[in-house]
Amino acid sequence: MFRDRVDAGRQLAAHVAGLGTLENPIVLGLPRGGVPVAREVARAIGAPLDVLVVRKLGAPGNPEFAVGAIGADGVRVVDERALQAMGVSEAALARIEHVELEELERRERRYRPGRPPLDLSGMTAVIVDDGIATGATASVACRGARALGARRVVLATPVAPAGWRESLRRAGENVGVPIADDVVVIQEPRDFWAVGQWYRDFGQTTDEEVLEALRDA
């Protein structure tokens, strides 16, 4: 159990540091909740902080259940089994994707105003979220980092459900390249229902808090 995202970030930072020296690292928080966690990791390893905007494609009527995710530059992951299980049609998925794409573009403008697109050429991208449920968003983020030129991809999160690494491995096989070169997770419980159950304080992170974290960095 983590006290809050700051506590989770500090604990996670110690585990990331355990990987040893990271060549030319940059820490990328997934907005919004991943950014306060990522700030603590960036501080601890002395790396710059930025954001990598991705959006979950939530099932109709159950938006917290991801049936896929999208990122910048057209990176997209869809869980066909989840679509079938939830009875999501192609038309419904297209509507969800349209809404989430608009939000993705809004966040890009909000969090990175006037700044050039991310260029991760030759860098070690340390991708940080406050927790992983299905892995769809994390998968898109990692693939996006590779598309932006990252030489090495590290996926780091305080908590994820037991067995999720197998899903990540299968996703890598589907695209012919590992989703992440290294994975850092503190807790992988079997009785996992939602990320928030592993935090005492899991209040929603605001745009202003994201911007404050980026200014601090």
CATH number for 136: 3.40.50.2020
With beta carbons less than 8 A apart as the criterion, state whether 39 and 8 touch.
no
168 within domain boundaries: yes
pLDDT-based confidence at 85, cuts 50/70/90? Answer: confident
42 within domain boundaries: yes
134 within domain boundaries: yes
Percent of the chain with pLDDT over 70: 100
With beta carbons less than 8 A apart as the criterion, state whether 67 and 89 touch.
no
Amino acid identity at 92:
A
111 within domain boundaries: no
**Is it the case that residue 200 has pLDDT exceeding 90?**
yes
**Is it the case that residue 127 has pLDDT exceeding 80?**
yes
68 within domain boundaries: no
60 within domain boundaries: no
**Is it the case that residue 62 has pLDDT exceeding 80?**
yes
The listed range with the strongest mean pLDDT (63-67, 137-141, 158-162, 167-171) is 158-162
200 within domain boundaries: yes
Distance, CA of 41 to CA of 74 (rounded, Å): 28
**Is it the case that residue 100 has pLDDT exceeding 90?**
yes
Domains held by the chain: number: 1
Distance, CA of 14 to CA of 172 (rounded, Å): 27
Q: What is the pLDDT of residue 167?
A: 79
- Among 99-113, 120-134, 175-189, the minimum mean pLDDT is found in 175-189
**Is it the case that residue 47 has pLDDT exceeding 90?**
yes
Helix axes 207-216, 34-45, angle to 10 degrees: 10
Which of the two residues, 104 and 66, has the higher pLDDT score? Answer: 104
Mean pLDDT across the stretch 187-198?
94
Structural domain span for residue 206: 5-53+118-216
- Rounded to the nearest integer, the mean pLDDT of the chain is 92
Mean pLDDT across the stretch 152-165?
95
Q: What is the pLDDT of residue 166?
A: 83
The dihedral of CA 69, 10, 216, 197: what is its sign?
Answer: positive
